[in-house]
Chain A
Amino acid sequence: MEVLVPVITMGVLGILFSLGLVIAYRKLRVYEDPKIEQVAELLPQANCGACGYAGCRAFAEALVKGESTINSCPVSDAEGVKQISATLGVSAAEVVKKVARLHCRGTHEAAKNSGTYLGISTCDAAQLVGGNKQCSYGCLHFGDCVRACPFDALYMSEEGLPVVIEDKCTACGKCVEACPRNLFELHPISQGIIVFCRSVDRGPVSRKVCKNACIACGICSRACPEAIIIENNLAIITDYKKIDPEKIPEIEKCPTDAIGRLKKEDEG
């Protein structure tokens, strides 16, 4: 009989506590859609915030609630998008892979220095005092974008320009934000022709400060007027899809190399 006392005591205690927990569970239960967990696992877990939500988990919740679409995530690859769409039960819209591209070819050699800059070596700091280049539109070479890239998709080349490794680039847009001179833009990877200049100075002026500046001579726009216009002394591609591949050699006659295809050394 002695042995029954502890058994009963512990039994009763256990039952009491579990009853307490059951009641608490009824009151405090949070219903969570199991899909959120599944979708969160399929997302890249980069937590880069490019989708506009606080992280991959918050984005997963928004997806399940239908507040956002999977296309907002630039990091997911085609396979991931397919699986997430299947989990959500919606059809995946075709996702165009985008990459960041630099709109400057002002290498150390091409763009002249305005003086010696000895300040804090970030682009932000240099921009405050006007930069160390005579060109006030081009790359400052201090690599804020390289440091901002969470995917190691950027590096600084020996010529002094950041290079995008397109395989690694996820178009998260961190470099676009980081560049104080707004030299990065997200392009569909299929876009072949790019204007490598942002200078809106008149031709002779920009020519003086950088060998690779757009001087608005108009050769490219005459070669392909339906897709390229000259505005504010700068060539602008209005619709890259309208560029006829046959006209590319014509466009690349640019005397300063300010428009054309990415060269091998530009691609990493």
Chain B
Amino acid sequence: MELLAIFVAAILINNFVLRYFLGICPFLGVSKKIDSAISMGLAVTFVMSITAVVSWVINHWILIPFKLDYLQIVSFILVIASLVQLVEMFIRKISPPLYQALGIYLPLITTNCSIFFLALMASLREYNFVESIIFGVGSGLGFTLAIILMAAIREQLDHAEVPEALKGAGIALIVAGIMALAFLGFSGMIK
């Protein structure tokens, strides 16, 4: 039950993008087409899940036993940067068009605050190993959900009559704000 609560909370209630406004850069940058939004979501989910595992291992097997908690930030960044490099190589190998479509946003996952937030939050909330994994996967799926919803809305927006001044980033931010309001409705479901 505890695990389910963490999972649902990570996807809906404390959605990283719409509740904490983390990871806005790829959220706005890669949400023009559903196809690339899905791939971006999956790439972030993958990085988040692995980050949750590796950062837990480093935190509990190395940093805490040696009393090196203050190195958390540096070591988590190291983990994330290496993982993103790995994902980048992998995507480039299996799907060059996808690599082109994700463009600069793929290496930018490295500096995506939502992934870093995940690693810090898991250690702050003192999740155990399984809880960390569930938290990581859930948060990744939450990001995927948010970016796919956003892409679906923006594809429709292409056919809408948007005032000249709001075209592009302006209307995207407004839509993101309204989506965040909608997701606020989930708050309080789980403590």
**Residues of chain B within 8 A of A21, CB atoms compared:** 82, 85-86
User: How many residues of chain A are within 8 Å of chain B by beta carbon?
Assistant: 16
What residue in chain B is nearest A25 (Cβ atoms)? B89
**Residues of chain B within 8 A of A30, CB atoms compared:** 92-93, 96
**Residues of chain A within 8 A of B75, CB atoms compared:** 10, 13
- How far, in angstroms, from A17 to B71 measured CA to CA in the complex? 16
Residue with the greatest number of chain B CB neighbours at <10 A, chosen from A21, A25, A57: A21
Minimum CB–CB distance from A3 to chain B (whole Å) comes to: 12
- How far, in angstroms, from A159 to B36 measured CA to CA in the complex? 46
Is A204 on the interface with B (CB-CB < 8 A)? Answer: no
Q: Which residues 8-40 in A have Cβ within 8 Å of B in the complex?
A: 9-10, 13-14, 17-18, 20-21, 24-25, 28-30
Contact A9 B62 (CB under 8 A): yes
- How far, in angstroms, from A25 to B100 measured CA to CA in the complex? 19
Interface string of B63-84 (1 = CB under 8 A from A): 1001010010011001100100
Residue with the greatest number of chain B CB neighbours at <10 A, chosen from A5, A18, A28, A57: A28
Minimum CB–CB distance from A34 to chain B (whole Å) comes to: 15
**Residues of chain B within 8 A of A13, CB atoms compared:** 58, 62, 75, 78
**Residues of chain B within 8 A of A29, CB atoms compared:** 89, 93
User: How many residues of chain B are within 8 Å of chain A by beta carbon?
Assistant: 19
Interface string of A205-240 (1 = CB under 8 A from B): 000000000000000000000000000000000000
- How far, in angstroms, from A9 to B58 measured CA to CA in the complex? 10
Is A115 on the interface with B (CB-CB < 8 A)? Answer: no
Q: Which residues 89-121 in B have Cβ within 8 Å of A in the complex?
A: 89-90, 92-93, 96, 100
**Residues of chain A within 8 A of B89, CB atoms compared:** 24-25, 28-29
Contact B93 A5 (CB under 8 A): no
Minimum CB–CB distance from A5 to chain B (whole Å) comes to: 6
Interface string of B124-159 (1 = CB under 8 A from A): 000000000000000000000000000000000000
Contact A28 B90 (CB under 8 A): yes
Contact A20 B82 (CB under 8 A): yes
What residue in chain A is nearest B83 (Cβ atoms)? A17
- How far, in angstroms, from A144 to B74 measured CA to CA in the complex? 58
**Residues of chain B within 8 A of A17, CB atoms compared:** 78-79, 82
What are the 4 closest A-B residue pairs judged by CB atoms, nearest first? Answer: A17-B82, A28-B89, A28-B93, A24-B86
10 A–B contact pairs at CB < 8 A?
A: A9-B66, A9-B71, A13-B75, A17-B79, A17-B82, A21-B85, A28-B89, A28-B90, A28-B93, A30-B92
**16 extra A-B contacts, CB within 8 A, seeds A6-B66, A9-B63, A28-B92:** A6-B71, A9-B66, A9-B71, A10-B71, A10-B78, A13-B75, A13-B78, A21-B82, A21-B86, A24-B86, A24-B90, A28-B90, A28-B93, A30-B92, A30-B93, A57-B100
Residue numbers of B with Cβ under 8 A of A are: 58, 62-63, 66, 68, 71, 74-75, 78-79, 82, 85-86, 89-90, 92-93, 96, 100
